[in-house]
Amino acid sequence: MALLRLRKDEDPILRKTSRPVTVFDKKLRTLAEDMIETMHAEFGLGLAAVQVGKLRRMLTYDLYDDTGPGVLINPELISSEGTCDGVEGCLSVTETRGYVERPQKLVIKAHDLDGNEVTIEAEDLFARVLCHEMDHMDGILFIDKMSRIYVPEENEEDEEFENGEEA
Ligand code: CO
């Protein structure tokens, strides 16, 4: 396992479109393990491969509960329901956090590391993380979608958001 270098801010790769994964081999598994290690080292909730310089449609997540860590490859949104406003940060965007509207609930189809098709249902924070990471695969950052910047001093009593939540 190895820590990977995070791409940040003005790095042009963050604006590129990632390619679908077609080969499910040992190399892909190693990348997934390294991405999880890198995500954990930064206390991230999610990480897209492009954030470590790999233009592959692949993401890792961990909500630090009993659902993770997990890996999703070639994720596709099947359906979504409702909306939910919440604060996001990103391991690739230094300092800024902001409010982004995301679906409250969604269903995603993806592949696992063996190339098997999986269906994932996600709600609330999990749905938010998955949308955030899927946007990365199309070169979209949360700052493109945020309605306003989050200022911590104005939200000292905001219990919904803990400062470590970045994806
Ligand atoms: Co991000």
The residues, any chain, with a CB within 8 Å of residue 42's CB and separated by 6 or more, are 6, 91, 166
CA gap 139, 85 in Å, rounded: 21
- Domain assignment present for residue 161? The answer is no
- Domain assignment present for residue 110? The answer is yes
* Active-site position among 88, 133, 165, 166: 133
Q: How many domains does the chain have?
A: 1
Q: What tokens does 94 get?
A: 């230094």
- Domain assignment present for residue 166? The answer is no
CATH of the domain at 150: 3.90.45.10
Question: Which tens digit of pLDDT belongs to each residue from 85-141?
Answer: 999 999 999 989 999 999 999 999 999 999 999 999 999 999 999 999 999 999 999
Q: For residue 153, how far is the Cα from the chain centroid? A: 26
Cα 112 to ligand 1 centre (Å): 21
Cα 115 to ligand 1 centre (Å): 24
Phi, psi (5° rounding) for residue 59?
-140, 155
Question: Which tens digit of pLDDT belongs to each residue from 49-81?
Answer: 999 999 999 999 999 998 789 999 999 999 999
Cα 119 to ligand 1 centre (Å): 22
Known active-site residue 121: no
Cα 135 to ligand 1 centre (Å): 8
State the residue range of the domain holding 27: 12-155
- Domain assignment present for residue 160? The answer is no
